[in-house]
Amino acid sequence: MNPVRQPLNLLLLALVVIVTVAGFVLIPGDKLVPVHWQLSGQVDAALPRNYALIQMPIATLAVWLLAYAIHRWGNSGRGAHAAAAIRMIIPGLTILFLLVQLLIVLSGAGITLPYFRSY
């Protein structure tokens, strides 16, 4: 089965879309949104709302397209271990991108997060 079409992956993709749409609704269009934090939690980079909110969906799409291309046109003799790795990489990276997107949306909406400090 195509690793992109797994039910968990589709659910995670739907959550990325929902969080992104919520960000467009909750964050004013002219606001700079934090997109990168130092290890101390201090913001060291911010982007305008539209750029900030689109970067994680683009990263998710890039990973999914790469996984699909490997599945579709990759070496069929790569074995079960490589196929299992792809099945783990897609949800793993999608969860990572979802969490980063959620952090971006929450901080952009003005919600104070315990560890992260805004401008």
Instruction: Please write the tens of the pLDDT for every residue from 6-53.
Output: 899 999 999 999 999 999 999 999 999 999 988 888 889 999 999 999
- CA-nearest of 39, 73, 72, 34 to 51 is 34
Interatomic CA distance for residues 89 and 92, integer angstroms = 5
pTM of the complete model: 0.87
Percent of the chain residues past pLDDT 70, beyond the cut: 90
Q: Is the pLDDT of residue 76 over 70?
A: no
**91's torsion region: left (phi>0), alpha (psi -120 to 50) or beta?**
alpha
